[in-house]
Amino acid sequence: MSPYTTILTETHGRTGLIRLNRPKALNALNNTLIKELMDALAAFDADPAIGAVVLTGDERAFAAGADIKEMMDETPVSILRKDHIAPFDRIMQIKKPVIAAVSGWCLGGGNELAMSCDMIVASESAKFGQPEINLGVIPGAGGTQRLTRAVGKALAMEMVLNNRTLSAQEALQFGLVNRIVPVERYLEEALAFANEIAARAPLAVQFGKEAVNHAFESFLADGLKDERRAFYYLFASEDQKEGMRAFAEKRQAEWKGE
Ligand code: CAA
């Protein structure tokens, strides 16, 4: 029996799939869901049979934000004590690539969750926004930071200050998402994309993910130093020897993750 009440988990080849499962509340992120999601991500991360993770909602909503009804009566002290947003940071520690497959509403904490993933596959119906201004607050789970880095200051200001939403097409144009797929196929496409990456050399995928994410968090000089160190370190792996030998011998490489 599944240990979860607000999410569903499955595996598809070497990809772990996590579905947010509060459809009546448009997958609003309550405290239980956030905890279960982080536990499921950590479990897939620890499973050697899994090489990538896809995170999705349903066709109508990826997630319509943090659960407003759960947090409406919080005070600064109670919300600080619960610090319910802090678990979001655990996504940053997941070593395997995490792809968000987004359809329908992707708002507030939902958009912040999608942006915490490494890539986003969007259905044609996806709508992205940070509507917290309508509630008299601002984004609290990285929205002002990740969104600005992704789409630039001008558009981020409009989204955060004036509830500007982005269509899937606009999100692609401004660099928020990787690709757009018809609604009937977006999850299938995200799983195929994830399995493609999961079949690659695991250590190189892990280090590549870390290095690209580092570009968001560091000054250029630090990021470059870190990237170079990871590149040199990979020469200690069997996969580097196998990958380069296979190229020279004109054959497919067989990855061991060692
Ligand atoms: N929290 C709690 N419940 C939510 C919710 C949310 N974020 N979003 C939707 N729901 C619930 C609705 O209350 C409704 O429940 P009932 O049937 O029990 O009334 C159900 O989901 C369906 O929603 P609607 O009837 O409103 O559906 P709609 O199609 O008319 O509208 C919508 C869709 C435009 C997304 C609208 O639901 C909406 O505006 N939702 C709120 C979006 C929002 O403000 N998100 C930001 C939250 S704050 C945040 O995320 C802070 C942060 O940075 C961490």
Per-residue model confidence (pLDDT) at position 76: 87
Q: Which atom of ligand 1 is nearest to the CA of 139?
A: 53
Per-residue model confidence (pLDDT) at position 88: 83
Q: Are 6 and 31 in contact (CB under 8 A)?
A: no
Q: Which amino acid residue places its CA nearest to atom 19 of ligand 1?
A: 25
Burial of 190 (0-12, 13-18, 19+ CB in 10 A): buried
Does residue 65 line the site of ligand 1, with CB under 6 A? yes
Instruction: Give every strand in the sheet of 105-107, ordered side by side.
Output: 61-63, 105-107, 127-129, 166-167
Q: Are 183 and 137 in contact (CB under 8 A)?
A: no
Q: Are 152 and 158 in contact (CB under 8 A)?
A: no
Cα–Cα dist 96/221, whole Å: 25
Per-residue model confidence (pLDDT) at position 107: 98
Per-residue model confidence (pLDDT) at position 176: 97
Question: Ligand 1: distance of its center to the CA of 63 in Å?
Answer: 9
Ordered DSSP codes for 86-135: GGGGGGGG--S-EEEEE-SEEETHHHHHHHHSSEEEEETT-EEE-GGGGG
Nearest to 193 by CA among 117, 106, 133: 117
Direct distance between the N- and C-terminal alpha carbons of the chain, in angstroms, rounded to an integer? 33
Per-residue model confidence (pLDDT) at position 216: 82
Per-residue model confidence (pLDDT) at position 87: 86
Structure tokens at 188: 């299938």
Question: Ligand 1: distance of its center to the CA of 203 in Å?
Answer: 40
Per-residue model confidence (pLDDT) at position 226: 82
Does residue 83 line the site of ligand 1, with CB under 6 A? no
pLDDT by 10-residue block (mean), the chain, 258 residues? 92 98 98 96 97 98 96 89 86 95 98 96 98 93 92 96 98 97 98 98 96 85 81 89 91 93
Cα–Cα dist 122/112, whole Å: 15
Cα–Cα dist 169/163, whole Å: 17
- Secondary structure tally for the chain: helices H, strands E: 11, 10
Which residues carry out catalysis? Answer: 66, 109, 112, 132
At residue 9, the 3 state secondary structure works out as strand
Per-residue model confidence (pLDDT) at position 219: 81
Per-residue model confidence (pLDDT) at position 230: 82
Q: How many residues does the chain have?
A: 258
Per-residue model confidence (pLDDT) at position 83: 87
Cα–Cα dist 56/185, whole Å: 13
